[in-house]
């Protein structure tokens, strides 16, 4: 992984696996780690990298409950762990099943090292819950945790750093080759609500938006894909009403066929 400093004391880290992007916000008294990676080893590497930048006490925030964003937390303990209440429910009720699924996935991908690391990983549920909005005082700097509404999941949190004009958006924003990827959409996603979640991010007037995967972007990128999501919602409604065939919808979509299929299959 590598660090990029976006503003004084505000960093993003890029990880090769899944093109994951995590974050760090440093105040005068504390620092905030935004997502912890997908397994105990990745989390340990991230924790060591944070310690290269600061020795301040840390807190952790989960942008959502998917394994690649929150399974690396044991390396940061003891610390407070912030998340949306439905993130807690997801990890408690379905975390072990998700863990087994990803172990099997990486064994099938012939990546036994990652599979073994996930097997050794303990899932850490959050202990500080944010239903709508919470301000964290890091000492001379505030980080604001905001639930923008249902989007990638029903429990997304974004992290706003007002003094730097930066929003860490988790997977509410992704920066793949065409913006979203087929993995952006699942049976946990809320396609109708997603454009409004991007509206909520844009209302924060960010200078920089850090996606859950890929390089940082500007607000223009978010506006562009808000429009793309609105178009996907129109196409989904037309297909479900029988006004448009699937092939026509795929041809009319602003996204590749695999992304469009995944989006149209989302709730």
DSSP string, 67-102: HHHHTTGGGG-SS-EEE-HHHHHHHHHHHHHHHHHH
- Over 51-62, what HEC string results? HHHCCCCEEEEC
15 and 119 Cβ atoms separated by less than 8 Å? no
Q: Which residue has the tokens 């080759």?
A: 177
Secondary structure class of 46 (helix, strand, coil) = helix
Domain holding 51, by residue range, is 2-265
12 and 58 Cβ atoms separated by less than 8 Å? no
The Cα–Cα gap between 157 and 148 comes to 7
Looking at the whole model, is its pTM more than 0.85?
Answer: yes
* Total domains, the chain: 1
Q: Which residue has the tokens 């301000």?
A: 135
Q: Would you give per-residue pLDDT tens digits along the chain (267 residues)?
A: 889 999 999 999 999 999 999 999 999 999 999 999 999 999 999 999 999 999 999 999 999 999 999 999 999 999 999 999 999 999 999 999 999 999 999 999 999 999 999 999 999 999 999 999 999 999 999 999 999 999 999 999 999 999 999 999 999 999 988 899 999 999 999 999 999 999 999 999 999 999 999 999 999 999 999 999 999 999 999 999 999 999 999 999 999 999 999 999 998
Which tokens in the block code for residue 210? 């850090």
**Adjacency order of strands within the sheet including 166-170:** 133-137, 142-146, 158-161, 166-170, 208-211
CATH of the domain at 166: 3.60.15.10
């Amino acid at each position: 992984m590598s660090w990029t400093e976006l503003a004084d004391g505000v960093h993003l880290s890029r990880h090769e696996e899944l093109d994951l992007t995590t974050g760090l916000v440093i105040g005068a008294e504390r620092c905030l780690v935004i997502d912890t990676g997908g397994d105990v080893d990745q989390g340990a590497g991230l924790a060591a990298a944070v310690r290269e930048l600061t020795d301040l006490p840390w807190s952790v925030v989960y942008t959502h409950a998917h394994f690649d964003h929150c399974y690396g937390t044991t390396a940061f303990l003891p610390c407070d762990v912030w998340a949306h209440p439905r993130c807690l429910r997801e990890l408690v009720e379905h975390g072990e099943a998700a863990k087994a699924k990803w172990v099997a996935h990486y064994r099938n991908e012939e990546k036994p090292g990652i599979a073994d690391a996930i097997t050794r990983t303990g899932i850490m549920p959050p202990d500080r819950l944010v239903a709508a909005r919470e301000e964290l005082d890091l000492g001379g700097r505030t980080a604001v945790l905001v639930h923008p509404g249902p989007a990638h999941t029903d429990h997304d949190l974004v992290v706003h750093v007002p003094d730097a004009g930066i929003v860490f958006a988790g997977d509410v924003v992704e920066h793949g080759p065409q913006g979203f990827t087929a993995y952006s959409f699942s049976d946990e996603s809320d396609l109708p609500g997603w454009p409004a979640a991007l509206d909520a991010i844009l209302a924060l007037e960010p200078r920089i938006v850090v996606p859950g995967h890929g390089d940082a972007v500007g607000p223009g990128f978010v506006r562009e894909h808000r429009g793309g999501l609105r178009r996907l919602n129109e196409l989904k409604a037309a297909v479900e009403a029988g006004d448009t065939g699937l092939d026509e919808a795929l041809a009319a979509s602003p996204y590749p066929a695999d992304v469009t299929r995944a989006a149209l299959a989302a709730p």
